[in-house]
Structure formats: C-alpha cells, structure tokens
C-alpha cells in the first residue's frame, strides 16, 4: 500500500503543465513521495492549460490501478476514439472476477463483524480477540488477511470508503505488525481521498506512532517514512482547519524538522505559508507564534543554500536582510505561486493579508518616523 514511488513518476515529471511560475512548481518533487491515488487530485488541479498532456499523465498514472472504466475513458480521450480496445474489456472482466473472489473470501468475516453480538464481545487485546473468533466462529488468520487484500483491492478500484472500512476491520484483528502499518497507510490515503479529515488526522497520528515505535532502530526507514507522512499530511494540513495547529507542531518537532531539512526542503514553503497564515488565529499563549516564527526563520536561513522560492525569499528578505522593498516584491511573486499550488490555493488570500501585517509590524518596530508618501 505504501508503494509511493510509482514507476511512472519519472515520466510524469516530464509531462508538466506550463505554469505561470513553472520553476516553482513542486509537483515533480512531491510525486515520488505520494501514492498513485493521491497524485490524482494534484494532476486534476493542474489540468487547465494543456489538457492533452495532463490526460496522458493521468492515463499513465492510473494505468496500473483497477479503475478500468475511468482509464478506458481516458484512453478514448487521448486517442479520440469511441471504441475501447480489448485489453480494457478483458481487464475489466478480470477485475470484476477478482472482486467477486475477494468478496466471497471475506464474506464470512465481514458478516461476523457486522454482527452486534460478536463485536460486543471483542476486547482491546488482539490476540484474545483472534482466539475468541477462532473458537467461537472458526475465523482463521487467512480470513483476516483476506480482509486486507480485499481492502487493498477496493482501494485500487477507487472505492476508498469501502477500503477504509475494510482496513479498519483488518487492523482491529490482525497481529501482523507490518501489515497493520501498511493498512494504516492505506486507511490514511482512503480517508484523505474521501476527504474525511478527522479520520485522516487520526491516521496521521497512528502512522506517526508506528514510525516511532516500529522503526525504532532503523533511521533510514524512519526518514523515508517520515517524509511520506509529511507529504501525505499536506492534504489535511490546508484543507482541515483544526489540523493546522497539530500539524504545524508536528512539523516543527525536532524529528520532523530534521526530516524536512534533510530529505524534502521544499516542504518549507508549506510550513512558511502555514506559519504566516496562522498569524490571525487565536493562540493558546502569545509566545507560541513568536517561537514558530523564530524557528521558521532559522530553518529558512539554514536551508537557503538548498531550497528557495518566493515564499522563503519573502521570509528571508523580511527577517534576515530587513529589506522591506524586496519583501514586498517577493510577496507579490509568492502570491502567484500560492495561487498555482494545489495545497495553498485556498490559503493565498489569508497569506497575503497576514504577510502584509508582518511587514508593517516589523517596519514599525524599526522605524520611528515613516514617510507615508
């Protein structure tokens, strides 16, 4: 499930839309860290100018999934025909057959789990649950695993709601840690795609815990897992208001800020945008915002040699060089970038507003008399 580097990623980065600020487009950088299905909305968003290319990209992206109907449609669009080649028909049949197969396989256990009585008997101890189910209802480990496979298949077909449900059930029962972790990722993706942000936040928390505990002595895996998590959580970050604070804190926590610095400095754009737009929000205590800002300045400054875009430039101009004219200029650039960014488009106005506040705040702090003209 956590197969985050689709083989077509390379090809995709070649097929970029010509953006207003193409050099600041992060899509090619983000794609390797995202799941196939998560990339889709991003591509959808950038569809606008060059439809043909995007459609081709979408086709490449989804070719390996089981969303056969949609892929066939895309194919028709690309080739401008109405006929569907046989392979799609065949694949569709295969998929349906498989669906059937999985359904049958997991029928019993899904039924059981819908039974109120059975569910009522479940405890928090997974091993005990399994034993109970095995003794009382003849549930085997294979059956539990079939839940996982079925969930995975559903996800691949694009029915994310079902997938989330199945994976949830699987996770309750399974004792296989690797699969549970993988199911967590799957569920997170499903929740994101069904825009169930609260569920997604729960999953983010779970995934984070599992990274800390399960991969405790494998720093490299921790690093990659954390960078995935950071990228995935961008979805709730800018779409779900309550998530903002939690995620800002998460990103600023030592382990994650290190991850950002080492493997994906472009996340700084989102972090900067988040911190700046957070300005107007009520804070638990006053110092928190100042501290976030200070941390942000420090990191932006440190990573200046590795990553810059108008947003980090803005921070730098305002807080490192104290060059207000430059900051103004960068702000207008930043606005454009924000408007063409999938995640930040909704936050663009708030960002500009907050950034202007910050400029005047710091300007007034330094100046005694200002020439208003």
Partner 1 sequence: MSRFFYRGGSDSESSSSDEEEDVYQRSEEEEESDEESSEQSDSGSDDSDDSDDEAIAKGGAAAFLKDDSESEEEEEEEKVTVVKSAKDKRLEGLENTIKLIENAQKINDWSVISTEFDNLNRQIVKITQSGPVPKVYVQAVADLEDFVNESVSKQKAANKKMNASQQKGFNAVKQRIKKNNKDYAAQIDKYRADKDAYMESDEEVEKPLPAAPKPTKVEKIENFAAAAAAAAAEDEEFTTVGRGGKTLQYTPESILKHLRVIVESRGKKNTDRLDQIKTMEKLLAVATSPYQRIRVYLTLISTRFDLTSSSANYMSPEQWKSADKEFGSLLSVLEENRNLIVSEGADEWEDDEKQPSIAEGETFYIPGSIVSYIERLDDELTRSLQQIDPHTAEYIERLSDEQQLYNNIVRAQLYVESQNAGEKNDTRQDSVNRVIIRRLEHVYFKPSQVVSILEDATWKALPEKLDSSVTSRKNASDVTNLIQTLCHYLFQNSDGIIRARSMLCQIYFLALHDQYYRSRDLMLMSHLSENISNFDVSTQILFNRTLVQIGLCAFRAGLIYEAQNTLGDICGSGRQKELLAQGIILQRYSTVSPEQERLERQRQLPFHMHINLELLECIYLTSSMFLEVPLMAQTSSAPEMRRRMISKTFRRMLDYNERQVFTGPPENTRDGVIMSAKFLAAGDWKKAASMLSSIKIWDLMPQPEKVKEMLAAQTQEEGLRTYLFTYAPFYDSLSVSSLADMFELPVKKIAAIISRMISHEELAAALDQVNDAIIFRKGVELSRLQSQIVTLADKSMGLLESNEKTLEQRTQGMANAFQREQGPGARGGRGGRGGGGQGRGGARIPGGQHGRRPGGQQFGGGALGGAIKA
Positions touching partner 1 (CB under 8 A) are: 262, 305-306, 319-323, 362, 365-371
Judged by beta carbon, residue 86 or residue 305, the one nearer partner 1 is 305
How far is residue 276's CA from residue 217's CA, in Å, rounded to a whole number? 35
Q: Whole-number minimum distance, CB 316 to partner 1, in Å? A: 12
Question: Buried b vs exposed e over 334-363: b needs ≥16 C-beta within 10 Å?
Answer: bbebbebbbbbeebbebbbebbeebbeeee
- Cβ distance to partner 1 smaller for residue 204 or 257: 257
- DSSP class of 23: G
Q: How far is the CB of 15 from partner 1 (least distance, A)?
A: 31
Contacts of 25-28 with C-beta under 8 Å, sequence gap 24+, read 25/340, 26/266, 26/269, 26/341, 27/342
User: Whose Cβ is closer to partner 1: residue 60's or residue 309's?
Assistant: 309
CB of 366 to partner 1, least distance (A): 5
Least CB distance to partner 1 at residue 364 (A): 9
Nearer to partner 1 among residue 81 and residue 258 (C-beta): 258
Q: How far apart, in Å, are the Cα atoms of 329 and each of 318, 323, 335, 352? A: 11, 10, 10, 12
Cβ pair 233, 250 in contact under 8 A: yes
DSSP 8-state symbol, 360: H
Considering beta carbons, is residue 17 or 265 the nearer one to partner 1? 265
> Minimum Å distance from CB 256 to partner 1?
16
Report which DSSP code applies to 281. S
Tell me which DSSP letter residue 253 carries: S
Q: What's the sign of the alpha-carbon dihedral 181, 183, 185, 187?
A: negative
Least CB distance to partner 1 at residue 224 (A): 14
The most distant pair of C-alpha atoms in the chain lies apart, rounded to whole Å, by 84
Shortest Cβ 264–partner 1 spacing (Å): 14
Rank residues 82 and 325 by Cβ distance to partner 1 and give the closer one: 325
Nearer to partner 1, 90 or 294 (CB): 294
What gap in Å lies between CA 122 and CA 132, rounded to an integer?
8
Tell me how far apart the alpha carbons of residues 332 and 314 are, in angstroms, rounded to a whole number: 10
Q: Cβ closer to partner 1: 193 or 355?
A: 355
Nearest CB to partner 1, comparing residues 21 and 261: 261
State the nearest-atom distance from the C-beta of 321 to partner 1, in Å: 5
CB of 294 to partner 1, least distance (A): 11
CA-nearest of 206, 261, 254 to 229 is 206
DSSP string, 223-244: HHHHHHHHHHTHHHHHH-HHHH
What tokens appear for 23 in the block?
């050099």
């Amino acid at each position: 499930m956590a197969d985050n580097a689709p083989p077509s990623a390379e090809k995709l980065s070649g097929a970029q839309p010509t953006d207003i600020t193409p050099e600041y487009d992060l899509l090619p950088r983000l794609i390797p860290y995202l799941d196939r299905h998560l990339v889709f909305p991003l591509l959808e968003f950038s569809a606008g100018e060059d439809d043909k290319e995007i459609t081709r990209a979408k086709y490449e992206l989804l070719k390996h999934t089981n969303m056969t109907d949609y892929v066939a449609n895309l194919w028709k669009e690309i080739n401008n025909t109405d006929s569907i080649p046989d392979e799609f028909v065949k694949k569709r049949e295969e998929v349906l057959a498989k669906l059937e197969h999985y359904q049958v396989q997991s029928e019993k256990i899904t039924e059981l789990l819908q039974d109120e009585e059975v569910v009522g008997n479940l405890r928090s101890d997974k091993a005990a649950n399994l034993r109970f189910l095995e003794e009382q209802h003849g549930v085997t480990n294979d059956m539990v695993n079939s839940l996982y496979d079925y969930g995975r298949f559903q996800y691949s077909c694009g029915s994310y709601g079902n997938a989330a449900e199945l994976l949830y059930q699987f996770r309750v029962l399974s004792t296989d840690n690797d699969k549970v972790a993988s199911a967590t990722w799957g569920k997170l993706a499903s929740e994101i795609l069904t825009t169930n942000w609260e569920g997604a936040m729960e999953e983010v928390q779970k995934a984070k815990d599992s990274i800390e505990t399960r991969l405790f002595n494998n720093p490299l895996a921790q690093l990659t897992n954390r960078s995935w998590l950071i990228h995935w959580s961008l979805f709730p970050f800018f779409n779900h208001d309550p998530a903002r604070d939690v995620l800002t804190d998460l990103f600023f926590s030592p382990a994650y800020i290190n991850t950002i610095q080492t493997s994906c400095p472009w996340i700084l754009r989102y972090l900067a945008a988040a911190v700046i737009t957070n300005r107007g929000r009520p804070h638990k205590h006053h110092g928190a915002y100042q501290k976030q800002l200070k941390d942000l300045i420090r990191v932006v400054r440190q990573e200046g040699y590795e990553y810059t875009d108008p947003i980090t430039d803005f921070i730098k101009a305002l807080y490192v060089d104290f060059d207000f004219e430059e900051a103004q200029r960068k702000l207008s650039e930043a606005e454009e970038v924000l408007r063409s960014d999938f995640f930040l488009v909704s936050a663009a106005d708030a960002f500009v507003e907050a950034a202007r506040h910050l400029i005047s705040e710091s300007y007034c702090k330094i100046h005694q008399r200002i020439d208003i003209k």
